[in-house]
Amino acid sequence: MSREDESDKIFKALAARVRREILDELKDRPQTTGELCARFSQIDRCTVMQHLKVLEEADLVIAKRQGRERWNHLNPLPIKSIHDRWIGPYAAHAVELLGRLKSDLEGD
């Protein structure tokens, strides 16, 4: 799979608010699917599972089975790769522009 295909899957997964909320829930600690279903009680279990599947396919969630429980872990590496490719360079450029503006305003 190409890097572009991987990025598309990540952006698609992040496009849905509920999936971003699931990732927020997993930010501090892994959770079982049951815990996530209880947290998102406004939607049914099957829908939560479908969202988790999309997140897994984008490699944003890693699921591990322990006995009868399925533990969902956040994988932050795909988000970091998006940051490194898209946000980092733009942020650096913006900081450079702000530095120039400051110098111009101060007359340096």
Asked whether 5 and 11 are in contact (CB, 8 A), the reply is: no
pLDDT 10s digits, 20-53:
999 999 999 999 999 999 999 999 999 999 999 9
Residue 6: what are its φ and ψ, rounded to 5°? -65, -45
Whether the per-residue pLDDT at 90 is higher than 90: the answer is no
Q: Is 60 left (phi over 0), alpha (psi -120 to 50) or beta?
A: alpha
The pTM score is: 0.80
CATH architecture of 1-75: Orthogonal Bundle (1.10)
pLDDT number for residue 88: 82
pLDDT number for residue 47: 98
